[in-house]
Amino acid sequence: MQLNQIIRPDVLAMTAYKVVECPEDCLKLDAMESPYEYSDEMRAELAKQLAHTPIHLYPTPKAQGLPQMLRERVGIVEQADIVLGAGSDELIRLLTMLTGQPGSTMLTLEPSFVMYRVNAEFFGMKYVGVPLNEDFSLNLTAVLEAITTHQPQLIFIAYPNNPTGVPFAKTDVEQIIAAAPGLVVIDEAYGAFSSHTFLPEAGLSEKLVVLRTLSKIGFAGLRVGYAVGHPQVMHELRKVTPPYNMNQLSLTAAKFALQYPQFIDEHINKQKSERERMRTMLKTWSQVQVFPSEANFITMRVPDAQALWQAMLDHNILIKNLHGVHPLLEQCVRITVSKPEQNQLVLGVMQQLYGTQS
């Protein structure tokens, strides 16, 4: 069989989403996972609940009551509907599938989460990426102009943005939603670490869909994300959702997780205060340009991103080198905020490189 005669040429030309394997005992700070694990007591309790999960059955539409629990946790309006996904990644794909066909257009900001563009390509959509300003703030004029010119069916805005972490003014995003002719997906993967959210507005207009995930708040391994939106749009989204897309074990573990909100909130708050502590320290080094962050990571520009990436790896720490990902990310790296002692290791490596010369 000639693969190049069978498989789509655009797929053959693509590179797969790269997940870097961490060397053994490595401190993995490239993927915005939470560093906090359950205690032995909580593990034992979870194990009991997993043992009683009916894995011989498909999950039911009520998904063990998880949507209802999420509704209570994040506070959304009565009429809003929730669709679960295997990570918000799946929902990004499904929302693209909902609107994507040759001739339709996706608009996003650049740099942002790369999977928006990849999905646009999968579904033959025209892709319009509007560059952010150099300080990674949103260029509202450019976005509004692009909306007028391209009339996109689908807009993705990561709020806060990845890989920059920089928050956008809510009023700017509101203007984008008002001007949009189609769906606007506000991807709040990092929403828990920010003081701004569109969740209270989700469900009020057909245009707005808010995406959230459990991945960044402690449960990346569960692969549970959710879309909140207007019932009619969520009704259409269900049509493109594979049957039984969630698995029973993840649903059980996610429900368990939400029964302990204090575990989640305590660690979110710790990461938020560590983020500010790290940013304060980083700002004292003149060679480091640290950007504002409302997420669980910090993006910064350094004299030589590859050298910093290598220095970290030499200390068994894996960070993300963003240099080359997008022209605006020249010499930038992104580092997940971790536990205080681990953050100290990161700062220690940087101190060696930049501390003495300021």
Least distance CB 116 / ligand PMP (angstroms): 9
C-beta of 87 vs 152, nearer to ligand PMP = 87
> Both tokens of residue 269?
């708050």
Binding ligand PMP (rule: CB under 6 A), the pick from 88, 250, 271, 321 is 88
Determine contact, residues 198/184, Cβ cutoff 8 Å: no
Count of residues near ligand PMP by CB under 6 A: 13
Binding ligand PMP (rule: CB under 6 A), the pick from 189, 228, 237, 302 is 189
Handedness of CA 348, 351, 356, 358 (dihedral sign): negative
Spatial separation of the C-alpha atoms in residues 78 and 275, rounded to whole Å: 34
Binding ligand PMP (rule: CB under 6 A), the pick from 35, 59, 87, 111 is 87
C-beta of 213 vs 321, nearer to ligand PMP = 213
Lay out the site mask for ligand PMP across 210-229 (x = CB under 6 A, - = otherwise): ---x-x----x----x----
Binding ligand PMP (rule: CB under 6 A), the pick from 81, 110, 187, 201 is 187
Lay out the site mask for ligand PMP across 155-184 (x = CB under 6 A, - = otherwise): ---x---x----------------------
Q: Is 336 in the site for ligand PMP (CB under 6 A)?
A: no
Looking from the CA of 347 toward its CB, the CA atoms found within 13 Å total 19
Nearest by Cα to 302 from 292, 294, 313, 291: 291
- Which helix (H) or strand (E) is 171 found in, with range? helix 170-179
Q: Is 197 in the site for ligand PMP (CB under 6 A)?
A: no
The SS3 of residue 255 is helix
Spatial separation of the C-alpha atoms in residues 236 and 89, rounded to whole Å: 18
Of 85-93, 253-261, 265-273, 285-293, the segment contacting ligand PMP by CB under 6 A is 85-93
Q: Is 30 in the site for ligand PMP (CB under 6 A)?
A: no
Q: Which residues pair with 227 in a beta bridge?
A: 83, 211
C-beta of 155 vs 350, nearer to ligand PMP = 155
The SS3 of residue 332 is strand
Least distance CB 154 / ligand PMP (angstroms): 15
Of 82-90, 173-181, 253-261, 327-335, the segment contacting ligand PMP by CB under 6 A is 82-90
Q: Which residues contact 339 (CB under 8 A, 6 or more apart)?
A: 35, 36, 270, 274
Of 39-47, 81-89, 171-179, 313-321, the segment contacting ligand PMP by CB under 6 A is 81-89
Nearest by Cα to 162 from 230, 99, 237, 88: 88
Q: Is 89 in the site for ligand PMP (CB under 6 A)?
A: yes
C-beta of 213 vs 250, nearer to ligand PMP = 213
Closest residue to bound ligand PMP by CB: 87
Q: Which long-range contacts (CB under 8 A, 24 or more apart) does 108-112 make?
A: 108/155, 108/156, 108/157, 109/138, 109/143, 109/157, 109/158, 109/161, 110/326, 110/328, 111/163, 111/164, 111/322, 111/325, 111/326, 111/328, 111/329, 112/156, 112/157, 112/158, 112/161, 112/162, 112/163
Binding ligand PMP (rule: CB under 6 A), the pick from 104, 113, 246, 281 is 113
Instruction: Give the binding site for ligand PMP (CB under 6 A).
Output: 32, 87-89, 113, 158, 162, 187, 189, 213, 215, 220, 225
